[in-house]
Amino acid sequence: MARIYLDKLCNVLRTKNAGPFRYTLDIMFRDPRDYRAVIDSRLLTREIIAAAYATTTENITNFESFDNISAFKATIKRKIASGSPGDSDCYGMNQEGPMLQISFPEEAFLHRLLA
Amino acid sequence: MKPIKTVTPTGCIGNRGINREAFIRVLDEERPDVVAADAGSLDCGPWYLGAGKAHSPLKNITWDLDLLLTECVPRKIPVIIGSAGGSGANAHVQLTVDLIHEIAKKRGLNFRLAVIRSEVNKSYLAQRASAERITGIDGLEPLTPTDVESCSTIVGMMGVEPLMKALNAGAEVIIAGRAADNAVIGSFAVWRGADKGLALHMGDIMECGDTALIETQKLLRGLGPNRIPIIGTIGEGYFQLKAGHPSLACTPQSAAAHSLYERSSMYSSAQPGGVLDTSGALYEQVDPVTTRVTGTKFISTNPYTVLLEGARRVGYRSVTILGVRSPRMIEQIDQILEQLRESVIALFKDEGKIKIHFHVYGKNAVLGGHEFSNNVSHELGVVADVVADTQALAHQVADDIWLRLSFWRYEGRQTTAGNCAVLFSPNVIDGGETFDLKIYHQLPVDDPCALFPVEILNV
């Protein structure tokens, strides 16, 4: 079965520091119907984010969704604080890569198949 | 309540520069009650706080301050700038105040200037830390007097109260040390009687200026000072946001996107003296370029707490950057670097404390352990970051690293004249003092203004 990648459904897919010890993932869907499909079929969860980032769910401090703006948010503990020796991304603004591998089964998006 | 209009001309004073034409048009057409912007962040890491240096180009800071004073002072529009100079320590505030004096003199401007400092006295804080439990944020241990002593610079983050105190004193221009961005932008509206939750939420969305806007028509923004103002109007039970340029718009999603920005949670966030509850916030489009927000609440906490930020010097940095193109070496790079690290540390360990971090660009340098791709580039950029007790030691270690890596006898080596493309002469760059963030704690205070003295000057 064909799969749809998360980044194809979003107009914002980004990361940024949330304080010096965390970075946060902002996932904003372009079409509220895609967002609704993801919510209804529980396609995006704390576990899926943890797996994508090769980490445990304990390191995901927040996992949230917000219907009004068709958005998800997840916040991850940093291994090294922003700008401390050893840190590779001071602003935490280039950590979105692992989200590019997240994909969903096409059949969850009925409105797309019917369109 | 008469609606109050706030303009934020840029996401950060000195960051790319305010677009002059757009800013002047907004002042003339919108006639705002106040112009407010932040000038810094901790996002750039602890070095700027520790070293007392600005993190924006001085030329751009001067451009922005000059434009703000020259256009706002004659129009009698108050100007509020927070986290002055980048980190808001005394050195940063002074740098900004010196520029303000220079510009005022050059332009023949006179105004009442409030300077609010935010550096925390170390002996006072050490005493507090020994007498009571001062809790850390994001898992940090409670503060100890030794932590306080180890820091070269400590600042407190002010809320709206010291800024309102300056407004009460008749300030026309406010240069504040470390301050919550949303307090800098929301303080004037709160001072005029607006709801604090709405004013701070408005500040949260406006704090990065045009970042909360989307392009509706292609706008060439690559050249020159290009930050476009954002306009926030706050009334009874709502605030609304729009762009200071016809090619940009504020939509529910662009506003909400910035409400999420740099926050752990989209439902609530800790603020000086309370919590901003955005869980009931509603974003509605009122016209093609304007978004209205309702439903945000500020919940006061008792006692009032102030966030502290303290930078500790951990040593001195030297860096060497080496290109690796040989496929045989690329194949073995991880083990080569580990063996090299051991041999270098064995050689220098009696000279002082040394930390070596290798960042191998082309092989998981950006994502590290979070990387999912197995691809390795056909060429690698090895950045060796050395932090040691003294600059001389760091420099020697970095020198030894480039020499050793360049002549490392790895399996199958044919490049007997040298293994690496060494970038730059000198081959080692000294980075000076290096800091980490040792203090990120919450200090309870009786008076929200106690840590932030307000000084009034007639310029």
Q: Which domains does chain B have, with CATH numbers?
A: 4-118+158-301 (no CATH), 313-437 (3.30.70)
Q: What is the pLDDT, as a whole number, of residue B243?
A: 95
CB contact under 8 A, A73 and B359: no
User: Within an 8 Å CB–CB cutoff, is residue B369 touching chain A?
Assistant: yes
Taking only the tens place, the pLDDT of each residue in B295-353 is 999 999 999 999 999 999 999 999 999 999 999 999 999 999 999 999 999 999 999 99
**Which of B262, B364, B385 is the best substitution to test chain A (most A C-beta atoms within 10 A)?**
B262
Q: What is the 3-state secondary structure (H, E, C) of chain B?
A: CCCEEEEECCCCCCCCCECHHHHHHHHHHHCCCEEEEECCCCCCCCHHHHHCCCCCCHHHHHHHHHHHHHHHCCCCCCEEEECCCCCCCHHHHHHHHHHHHHHHHHHCCCCEEEEECCECCHHHHHHHHHHCCCCECCCCCCCCHHHHHHEEEEEECECHHHHHHHHHCCCCEEEECCECHHHHHHHHHHHCCCCHHHHHHHHHHHCCHHHHCEECCCCCCCCCCCECCEEEEEECCEEEEEECCCCEECCHHHHHHHHHCCCCCCCEEEECCEEEECCCCEEEEEECCEEEEECCEEEECCCEEEEEEEEEEEEEEEEEEEEECCHHHHHCHHHHHHHHHHHHHHHHHHHCCEEEEEEEECCCCCCHHHCCCCCCCCCEEEEEEEEECCHHHHHHHHHHHHHHHHCCCCCCCCCCCCCCEECCCCCCEEEEEEEEEEEEEEEEECCCCCCCCEEEEEC
What the block records as the tokens of B15 is 């960051």
Q: What is the pLDDT, as a whole number, of residue B440?
A: 97
> Chain A residue closest to B436 (CA)?
A84
Specify burial of residue B361 (Cβ count, 10 A radius: 0-12, 13-18, 19+).
Answer: middle
pLDDT band at B223 (very low <50, low <70, confident <90, very high): low
CA B37 from chain center: how many Å? 13
Q: In the predicted model, is pLDDT for residue B221 greater than 70?
A: no
Q: How far is B307 from chain A (nearest CA, A)?
A: 11
CB contact under 8 A, A69 and B253: yes
3-state helix, strand, coil in chain A (%, to 5): 35, 30, 35
CA B420 from chain center: how many Å? 36
pLDDT band at B210 (very low <50, low <70, confident <90, very high): confident
For residues B230-254, give the mean pLDDT. Answer: 95
Taking only the tens place, the pLDDT of each residue in B420-457 is 999 999 999 999 999 999 999 999 999 999 999 999 99
Q: What percent of chain B has pLDDT over 70?
A: 99
A63: helix, strand or coil: strand
Measured at the CA of B361, the angle between CA B355 and CA B364, to 5 degrees, comes to 85
Q: In the predicted model, is pLDDT for residue B219 greater than 90?
A: no
Q: Cβ of B453: how many Cβ atoms within 10 Å?
A: 13
| Residue among B45, B137, B373 whose CB faces A19 most closely | B137
Q: What percent of chain B has pLDDT over 90?
A: 92
Q: What is the pLDDT, as a whole number, of residue B217?
A: 84
Taking only the tens place, the pLDDT of each residue in B155-173 is 999 999 999 999 999 999 9
Q: Cβ of B254: how many Cβ atoms within 10 Å?
A: 26
CB contact under 8 A, B440 and A86: no
Tens-digit pLDDT string for chain A (115 aa): 799 999 999 999 999 999 999 999 999 999 999 999 999 999 999 999 999 999 999 999 999 999 988 999 999 999 999 999 999 999 999 999 999 999 999 999 989 888 7
Q: Cβ of B285: how many Cβ atoms within 10 Å?
A: 15
Question: Residue type for A30, please?
Answer: R
Q: What is the pLDDT, as a whole number, of residue B220?
A: 62
Q: What is the pLDDT, as a whole number, of residue B222?
A: 62
How far is CA B31 from each of CA B179, B210, B232, B242, rounded to the nearest angstrom? Answer: 26, 19, 12, 14
Q: What is the pLDDT, as a whole number, of residue B169?
A: 98
Mean pLDDT of chain A: 95
Q: Which residues pair with B291 in a beta bridge?
A: B241, B285
| Residue among A53, A64, A89 whose CB faces B366 most closely | A89
Q: How far is A101 from chain B (nearest CA, A)?
A: 8
Contact B113, B420 (CB under 8 A): no
pLDDT band at B195 (very low <50, low <70, confident <90, very high): very high
User: Within an 8 Å CB–CB cutoff, is residue B365 touching chain A?
Assistant: yes
pLDDT band at B128 (very low <50, low <70, confident <90, very high): very high
**Which of A27, A88, A90 is the best substitution to test chain B (most B C-beta atoms within 10 A)?**
A88
> Chain A residue closest to B270 (CA)?
A19
Q: Which residues contact B221 (CB under 8 A, 6 or more apart)?
A: B228
* Residue closest to B144 by CA, chosen among B165, B162, B164, B122: B122
For residues B275-280, give the mean pLDDT. Answer: 95
> Which strands make up the sheet holding B282-287, listed edge to edge?
B282-287, B290-294, B238-243, B230-235, B4-8, B34-38, B79-82, B173-176, B112-116, B454-458
Contacts of B282 in chain A (CB under 8 A): 68
Q: How far is B119 from chain A (nearest CA, A)?
A: 19
User: Within an 8 Å CB–CB cutoff, is residue B141 touching chain A?
Assistant: no
**Which of B44, B87, B138 is the best substitution to test chain A (most A C-beta atoms within 10 A)?**
B138
Q: What is the pLDDT, as a whole number, of residue B79?
A: 98
Question: Residue type for A110, please?
Answer: L
Q: How far is B367 from chain A (nearest CA, A)?
A: 6
Contacts of A54 in chain B (CB under 8 A): 369-372
Taking only the tens place, the pLDDT of each residue in B139-156 is 899 999 999 999 999 999
Angle between helices B196-206 and B181-191 (to 10 degrees): 140
Q: Cβ of B394: how many Cβ atoms within 10 Å?
A: 29
> Chain A residue closest to B136 (CA)?
A21
What A42-48 contacts at long range (C-beta under 8 Å, 24+ apart), as own/partner pairs, is: A43/A104, A43/A108, A44/A6, A44/A72, A44/A102, A46/A74, A48/A102
Contacts of B387 in chain A (CB under 8 A): 85
User: Within an 8 Å CB–CB cutoff, is residue B42 touching chain A?
Assistant: yes
For residues B366-379, give the mean pLDDT. Answer: 94
The DSSP 8-state label assigned to residue A36 in this structure reads: H
For residues B52-70, give the mean pLDDT. Answer: 96
In our burial notation (b when 16+ CB lie closer than 10 A, e otherwise), range B230-241 reads bbbbbbeebbbb
Classify strands B34-38 and B4-8 as parallel, antiparallel or unpaired.
parallel
> Chain B residue closest to A77 (CA)?
B138
Specify burial of residue B137 (Cβ count, 10 A radius: 0-12, 13-18, 19+).
Answer: middle
Would you list which residues of chain A are within 8 Å, Cβ to Cβ, of chain B? 11-12, 16-22, 24, 26, 28, 52-55, 61-62, 64, 66, 68-71, 73, 75, 77, 79, 81-91, 94-95, 97-98, 101
